[in-house]
């Protein structure tokens, strides 16, 4: 195992300070070593200053250079997969197999962004040639493309210690765009963060990139995280976590003298609508699939199906009985950290204690600490519509079945929903044809609408949208998964009447990079 320093990474230097942040093995309560020192304000300033100094040259690096850098990071992370597979399960309670899979996904994600940076067409180059003879006024030569915003702050997610943390989706997107990144580590997997941080900084050095291209800071969100978002040289931030934390940071980002884009992924209950014919024909298979999805990763996926909506007809009871049997037989499992475990227990108690909600089944209790019991709750559409607390995210392995008495009530339920990352519909061809309006409503509520699938398991690809209206995210126009995330960290710049030699290569007349461009309205 690579040696862990217990310190922040400030460019090519190590931070100082005394250990105050310790990983905790959630299953045993054991305090893990080494402890981590919180970055001081001066260290945070140094990291941001270095990032600001490196922004111009890193922003002007070629797509090929950034592709080589992203691939080097992926290679370096792959080289420490055994270390990650040994340490991350201790810090997070996640099984080794999941950590290996997540590491593979992270490297695949970095390499996918490398292909995008290298190919180059993502910059959306547009060229309008001059027309000096146009009357009444001549038309100037104008050319535009996406350019990097500058230093980006990335908050690690607790529930994806690799794929959404130090070298995760936001970091890959920002680096691919040409933005230096400063990561704020999550307190619940500090050692995993350092291992990946070392892999990234080694890649910065190997690729001869400027010192400020990457830093990793430890420290409390309320201090170091807030100061980072408020630092004048930070130009955008990405976050995955709680609604309260996300909203606090969103407000700070918007209230700055120079407001910045703040991309928070926060809260989603991912409704699953089961239409009548599908329930009648394949209720048992649906119960099995839903159970697999809601217990996957101990329910700690942002796409966990926390809400299941079905008509209260003859097919309902066999479906609910099967789901209850499966939930009741689910073994207890370790959650990520004591905070998340406590939040699940108290949320489940509050939901189960609501006098309109029945606790249909509870899973087994596990051995050790931070154990989650899977849970199946049930209520009616009228109760759900009357009490907005029933629509709050319960982060863990549970779902609330809401029963209704027909299409109008089902549509009222759909319309009542807050913004979601995903919405799912199960139906036969006839069901779907008869319920087009439901699909139309769900499209207005979610970033991704699925038919006859389950929402957990997000494909990393070019067309993925892992976003959605508030409170799923702070900005439903964006995605945190997939290559479109690169546009989080760029803005279009128009170059008017520039001599060819002063233009970026992407916009030069001869198209030396051979990228796809729109020239006088025609894309080729």
- Closest to 123 in 3D by CA, of 494, 520, 466, 510: 494
CA distances (Å), origin 182, targets 20, 174, 227, 355, 398: 20, 10, 12, 47, 35
Q: How far is the CB of 280 from ligand NAP (least distance, A)?
A: 33
Question: Which residues on neighbouring strands pair with residue 519, listed in sequence order?
Answer: 127, 522
Q: Which of 43, 118, 146, 265 is catalytic?
A: 265
490 belongs to the binding site for ligand NAP (CB under 6 A): no
Among 63, 225, 397, 482, binds ligand NAP (CB under 6 A): 225
Q: How far apart are CA 509 and CA 95, in angstroms?
A: 53
Q: Does 448 bind ligand NAP (CB under 6 A)?
A: no
Instruction: Name the segment binding ligand NAP (CB under 6 A); options: 102-110, 165-173, 262-270, 284-292.
Output: 262-270
Residues 6+ apart with CB under 8 A from 206: 72
The beta-strand segments (E) located in 132-225 are: 142-148, 152-155, 181-184, 214-217
Is 417 near ligand NAP (CB under 6 A)? no
- Specify whether the backbone of 192 is left (phi greater than 0), alpha (psi in -120 to 50) or beta: alpha
445 binds ligand NAP (CB under 6 A): no
Q: Between residues 45 and 206, which has the closer beta carbon with respect to ligand NAP?
A: 45
- Interface with ligand NAP, residue 226, by CB under 6 A: yes
Cβ closest to ligand NAP, residue 287 vs residue 298: 298
Token pair of 301, please?
Answer: 């996926």
Phi, psi at 148, each rounded to 5°:
-65, 150
Q: Which is nearer to ligand NAP, 185 or 326 (CB)?
A: 185
Instruction: Identify the residue among 43, 83, 118, 393 touching ligand NAP (CB under 6 A).
Output: 393
Q: Do strands 375-380 and 358-362 pair parallel, antiparallel, or not at all (unpaired)? A: antiparallel
Work out whether 395 is an interface residue with ligand NAP (CB under 6 A): yes
Q: Are 234 and 27 in contact (CB under 8 A)?
A: no
In the set 177, 196, 217, 302, which binds ligand NAP (CB under 6 A)? 302
Q: Is omega for the bond preceding 192 within 30 degrees of 0, making it cis?
A: no
**Per-residue binder mask for ligand NAP (CB under 6 A), 341-380, x = binder:** --x-------------------------------------
Whether residue 154 contacts residue 181, with contact meaning beta carbons closer than 8 Å, is answered with yes
Q: Which of residues 184-223 bind ligand NAP (CB under 6 A)?
A: 184, 186-187, 220-222
Q: Segment 161-190, which members bind ligand NAP (CB under 6 A)?
A: 184, 186-187
Interface with ligand NAP (CB under 6 A), residue from 91, 265, 431, 506 = 265
CB of 481 to ligand NAP, least distance (A): 11
**Secondary structure element (H or E) that encloses residue 425, with its range:** strand 420-426
422 touches ligand NAP (CB under 6 A): no
What does residue 459 show for φ and ψ, rounded to 5 degrees?
-70, 130
Among 171, 192, 242, 295, binds ligand NAP (CB under 6 A): 242
Q: What residues are paired with 391 via a beta bridge?
A: none
CA distance 33 to 382: 51
Q: Which is nearer to ligand NAP, 124 or 345 (CB)?
A: 345
The least distance separating ligand NAP from the CB of residue 13, rounded to whole angstroms, comes to 22
* Nearest-approach distance from CB 231 to ligand NAP, in angstroms: 13
157 contributes a contact to ligand NAP by CB under 6 A: yes
d(CA 498, CA 143): 9
Nearer to ligand NAP, 343 or 411 (CB): 343
Among the listed residues 94, 92, 264, the one whose alpha carbon sits nearest the alpha carbon of residue 188: 92
Q: Which residues are bridge partners to 262 per DSSP?
A: 237
Helices then strands, counting H and E runs in the chain, come out as 15, 23
Residue nearer to ligand NAP on the CB measure, 112 or 421? 421
Q: CA-CA distance, 409 to 388, in Å (whole number)?
A: 16
Nearer to ligand NAP, 68 or 481 (CB): 481
**231 part of the interface to ligand NAP, by CB under 6 A:** no
User: Strand pairing partners for 265?
Assistant: 240, 473
**Catalytic residue at 302?**
yes
Q: Kindly indicate which of the ranges 168-176, 264-272, 384-392, 499-507 contains the residues binding ligand NAP, using the contact rule CB under 6 A.
A: 264-272
CA distances to 293, 303, 332, 397, 398 from 347, in Å:
20, 18, 17, 12, 10
Give the C-alpha separation, 36 to 24, whole Å: 12
Judged by beta carbon, residue 127 or residue 167, the one nearer ligand NAP is 167
Q: How far is the CB of 219 from ligand NAP (least distance, A)?
A: 7
Choice from 58, 122, 155, 273 touching ligand NAP (CB under 6 A): 155
Candidate residues 25, 61, 106, 267; the one interacting with ligand NAP per rule CB under 6 A: 267
> How many of the other CB atoms lie within 10 Å of CB of 368?
13
Q: Which of 23, 26, 210, 241 binds ligand NAP (CB under 6 A)?
A: 241
Residues that bind ligand NAP (CB under 6 A): 155, 157-159, 184, 186-187, 220-222, 225-226, 240-242, 245, 248-249, 265-268, 302, 339-340, 343, 393, 395
Which residues are known catalytic residues?
Answer: 265, 302
């Amino acid at each position: 195992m690579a040696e862990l320093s217990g310190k922040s990474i400030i460019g090519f230097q190590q931070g100082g300070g005394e250990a105050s942040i310790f990983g905790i093995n959630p299953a045993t309560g054991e305090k893990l070593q080494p402890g981590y020192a919180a970055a001081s304000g001066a260290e945070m300033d140094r990291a941001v200053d270095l990032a600001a100094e490196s922004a111009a040259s890193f922003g002007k690096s070629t797509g090929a250079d950034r592709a080589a850098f992203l691939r080097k990071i992926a290679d370096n992370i792959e080289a420490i997969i055994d270390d990650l597979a040994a340490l991350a399960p201790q810090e997070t309670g996640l099984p080794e197999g999941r950590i290996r899979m997540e590491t593979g996904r992270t490297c695949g994600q970095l390499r996918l962004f490398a292909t995008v940076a290298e190919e180059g067409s993502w910059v959306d180059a547009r060229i309008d040639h001059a027309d000096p003879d146009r009357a009444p006024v001549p038309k100037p030569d104008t050319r535009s493309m996406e350019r990097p915003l500058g230093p980006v702050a990335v908050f690690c997610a607790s529930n994806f210690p690799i794929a959404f943390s130090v070298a995760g989706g936001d970091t890959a997107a920002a680096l691919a765009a040409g933005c230096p990144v400063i990561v704020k580590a999550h307190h619940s997997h500090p050692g995993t963060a350092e291992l990946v941080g070392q892999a990234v900084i080694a890649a910065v050095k190997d690729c001869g990139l400027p010192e400020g291209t990457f830093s990793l800071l430890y420290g409390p969100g309320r201090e170091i995280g807030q100061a980072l978002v408020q630092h004048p040289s930070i130009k955008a931030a990405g976050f995955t976590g709680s609604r309260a934390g996300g909203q606090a940071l969103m407000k700070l980002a918007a209230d700055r003298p120079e407001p910045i884009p703040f991309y928070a992924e926060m809260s989603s209950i991912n409704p699953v609508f089961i239409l009548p014919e599908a329930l009648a024909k394949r209720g048992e298979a649906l119960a099995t699939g839903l159970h697999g999805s809601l217990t996957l990763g101990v329910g700690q996926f942002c796409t966990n199906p926390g809400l299941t909506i079905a008509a209260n007809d003859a097919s309902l009871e066999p479906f609910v009985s099967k789901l209850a049997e499966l939930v009741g037989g689910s073994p207890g499992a370790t959650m990520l950290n004591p905070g998340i475990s406590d939040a699940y227990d108290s949320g489940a108690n509050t939901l189960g204690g609501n006098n309109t909600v029945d606790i249909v089944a509870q899973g087994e209790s596990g051995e050790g600490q931070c154990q989650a019991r899977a849970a199946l709750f049930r209520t009616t559409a009228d109760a759900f519509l009357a009490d907005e607390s029933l629509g709050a995210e319960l982060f863990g392995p549970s779902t609330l079945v809401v029963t209704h008495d027909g299409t109008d009530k089902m549509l009222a339920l759909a319309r009542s929903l807050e913004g979601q990352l995903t919405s799912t519909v199960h139906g036969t061809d006839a069901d779907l044809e008869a319920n087009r309006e439901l699909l139309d409503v769900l499209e207005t509520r979610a970033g991704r609408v699925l038919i006859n699938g389950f929402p957990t398991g997000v494909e990393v690809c070019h067309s993925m949208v892992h976003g959605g209206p508030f409170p799923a995210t702070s900005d439903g126009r964006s995605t945190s998964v997939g290559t479109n995330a690169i546009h989080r960290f760029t803005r279009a710049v128009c170059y008017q009447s520039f001599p060819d030699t002063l233009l970026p290569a992407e916009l030069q007349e001869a198209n030396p990079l051979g990228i796809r461009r729109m020239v006088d309205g025609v894309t080729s």
